[in-house]
Chains A and B, each alone.
Chain A
Amino acid sequence: MNSNHSKSGVTRRGFLAASLAAGSLTLIPHALASTTPQSVADSDAYRAFIAVSQQITANTALKPAMAERLYLALVRHDDSFAERIKQLDSFITAEAIAVSELQARVEAEAPEVKDLPPAIATGWFEGLVGSGKDVELIAFSEALMYVAVADVLKPPSYSLGEYGIWQNKPAKA
């Protein structure tokens, strides 16, 4: 799984992180949102999941394979996920909620779906779904937390480069 380290993939992630850091959020993958994978039963729920994901990840170019894996895992861990994600998406859209106030507003006004934003964020950024003993890894090197720092750090167990490369001042420091 998630071991696709093609040269172009790595460069792309590095570029993405750099551009995100600079605040130029130009990569919005509309194609992704409009195609529901065959493995997904409820295409409305999937579209809602993608829409919420785009908010939570600041429209990072979400990889279709990871989106599918994450969605299926969330459904597997929570029978009510498909129904509740539609509810969360409708709530965000109807109220035009900015992501910066999302958690506070959901907790106050739609507490029945308050667990979904952190679950989705944890999935995309940390590559984890579920909690306690049931926690499941759906991504490691592709987890967006590592993408966010890819120009400076590598995920643990992946080489930073040749011996001593860590002596250099990181470009962003």
Chain B
Amino acid sequence: MAQQTTSADVVIVGSGVVGSLMAEKLALSGISVVILEGGPRIDRNHVVARFRHEANKSDFMAPYPYNDWAPEPRKNNDYFQQEGPVPYSASYIRGVGGTTWHWAGMAWRYLPNDFQLQSKYGVGRDWPFSYDDLEPFYYEAEVKMGVSGPLNNGSPRNKPFPMEPIARSWAHQRVQERLSQIGYEVTTNTVARNSRNYDGRPACCGNNNCMPICPIDAQYHGGISAQAAERAGAKIITEAVVYKIEHGADDKIQAVHYYTPDKESHRVTGKIFVLAANAIETPKLMLMSTSDKFANGIGNSNDMVGRHLCDHPRTKVSFDVDEEIWPGRGPVSEYSIQSERDGDWRGEEAAFRIDFSNSNPVAGVTSKLISQGVYGKDLIAGIRQQSSVTLGLKNIVEQLSDPNNRVMLGDRRDSLGIPNPKFYFSVDDYTRRGNVRARRVFQEIAEGLGGTNIKFMDENKFSLANHITGTLGMGNDRATTVCNGEGRSHDHENLFLAGTGVLPTVATVNSTLTAVAVGLRTAEFIMEDLA
């Protein structure tokens, strides 16, 4: 195995949206930065072409390249090993730019109370800092990512959104108007999607393909962050799968080691190290990196790495509205209900946000009609009629952190000999009670829209949301968290953790904007260390 050494002031593992935007900020301040990215470069037009030629269009991973030396969870592959009562599922992309190549662009802020769940409601964990501490970094992230949204969404702001909210589809207008009559306020989503030309990227033109790929970059993604990092002077080494973290006698991290796809090993030294390889691969890497002194893995002297895994174990409903609303025009995630995100009851049952789907329903409707033996004129009429009235909702429900829910090392290995992740995952009564309340709200909403053919998801099944949090949780209590409020490992003073894993609570919104804001805040502590 050849050994070569590269060096930089800051070495970042993972070129996802969080790692790349931190790299850009650090590089712009004059710091030398190397990003080690396990996957290859991803070309947008290539992905769009593959999407159009791909048979399984509902599989958002299908148009992306798969590499057995940097494997990722796929439909029907066995990359994730399971131990708990509820199978944990998530999807992520291992390539330059990471998972936000296929996201829905939802870019919500947490609510102020989300930062003090324990002290306000006696459940979950508190954050080591407040909403107000993060507010300027939220704004910095919103400017970078090009976020549009309406003012009144419960998260106070010091400056207006970079862009006006996205124009509302006919479906959004109708649902909003009708639900206001039964007391539900529908809000246009806060999204990293252009409502005008912004930062060299065009306004959205309604391709309705935000997942798995926006063909015109009207929706922000990590590939754009990686480009920005390189433009600022950061160097990205691709196909560099980091497999070991090395510490010195003073416990400081000295180097990380990576494999090329043909298993050549390289060593990279630096002054400061940032792990931003996502909330599953980062804990995996830390658990793999054992030494005599850190027998349970790097940063894991308290056995907290990978624990407290939280996501949004959602429930769903679908029904037919009593008028033609034609979902599928405009972006895929457009509007939602905020009123259930906080309240006195939050000590007893989970809060949630309700998301309405605006995905083009035609393929699903057609396949169902054909399976019922409907052909000819009836099929054509049925496709039109059912596509025009169908509506799907889900709840982004809070899950409390439980140390038993966690990422571990599995016994299966990939082509480089690196273990697959293994999970223990369960859903407690607090979240289940939230889902019971959500079903009541769904019923009211369905009735308010004259809904028929109402179909609830099985109450013992959960649809997970790819909002992978908690596994690297930050906090003031060194016994139960992995890093402090700066993102600094409790065990290694020059090791910083970043990405959605550091969020100690999952709250009721998609995690990325908060993870980017926290990462940009962490970058300032790194800059201070190097000053």
Contact = CB atoms under 8 A, between A and B. Distances in A.
B170 interface: yes
Interface string A1-22: 1010000000000000000110
A137 B53 contact: yes
Interface in B205-223: 205-209, 213, 215-216
Contacts of A162: 205
30 contacts: A21-B380, A56-B375, A58-B376, A58-B379, A117-B375, A118-B371, A122-B370, A135-B55, A136-B55, A137-B53, A137-B54, A137-B55, A145-B363, A149-B384, A152-B388, A153-B328, A153-B362, A155-B360, A156-B359, A157-B52, A157-B208, A157-B213, A159-B216, A160-B205, A160-B206, A160-B207, A163-B167, A167-B169, A173-B170, A173-B326
A36 interface: no
Contact of B367 (A122, A137, A156, A163): A122
A75 interface: no
Given A118-B371, A160-B207, A149 B167 contact: no
Contact of B55 (A55, A56, A103, A128): A128
Candidate in B204, B206, B377 with the most chain A CB atoms within 10 angstroms: B206
Interface string B363-407: 101110011010111111101100110000000000000000000
Nearest first, the 10 A-B pairs at minimum CB distance are: A103-B373, A160-B206, A166-B330, A164-B167, A99-B376, A166-B329, A173-B324, A163-B203, A157-B209, A145-B366
Candidate in B56, B168, B208, B381 with the most chain A CB atoms within 10 angstroms: B208
B169 A166 contact: yes
Given A21-B384, A128-B55, A154 B367 contact: no
Interface in A120-157: 121-122, 125-126, 128, 135-137, 140-141, 144-146, 148-149, 152-157
B375 A99 contact: yes
Interface residues of A, number: 54
A154 B207 contact: yes
Given A55-B375, A118-B373, A125-B379, A160 B329 contact: yes
A159 B324 contact: no
A163 B53 contact: no
A21 B379 CA distance: 11
Interface in A45-73: 55-58, 60
| Main SS class of interface, B | loop
A172 B388 contact: yes
Nearest to A120: B375
Interface of B: 48, 51-57, 167-170, 173, 195-196, 203-209, 213, 215-216, 323-326, 328-330, 359-360, 362-363, 365-367, 370-371, 373, 375-381, 383-384, 387-388
Contacts of A40: none
B380 A156 contact: no
Given A103-B373, A122-B367, A122-B370, A156 B57 contact: yes
Contact of B52 (A136, A140, A161): A140
A55 B376 contact: yes
Contacts of B195: 163
B373 A102 contact: yes
Contacts of B377: 20, 23, 25, 58, 99
Nearest to B382: A148
Given A118-B371, A135-B55, A163 B48 contact: no
Contacts, number: 158
Nearest to A165: B206
B384 A125 contact: no
Contacts of B373: 102-104, 117-118
Contact of B206 (A55, A122, A137, A161): A161
A7 B380 CA distance: 23
Contacts of B328: 153
A39 interface: no
A109 B475 CA distance: 69
A173 B375 contact: no
A148 B384 contact: yes
A153 B376 contact: no
B327 to A, nearest CB: 9
A172 to B, nearest CB: 7
B52 A103 contact: no
Contact of A157 (B48, B56, B325): B48
A56 B366 CA distance: 13
A100 interface: yes
B376 A156 contact: no
A149 B205 contact: no
A3 to B, nearest CB: 8
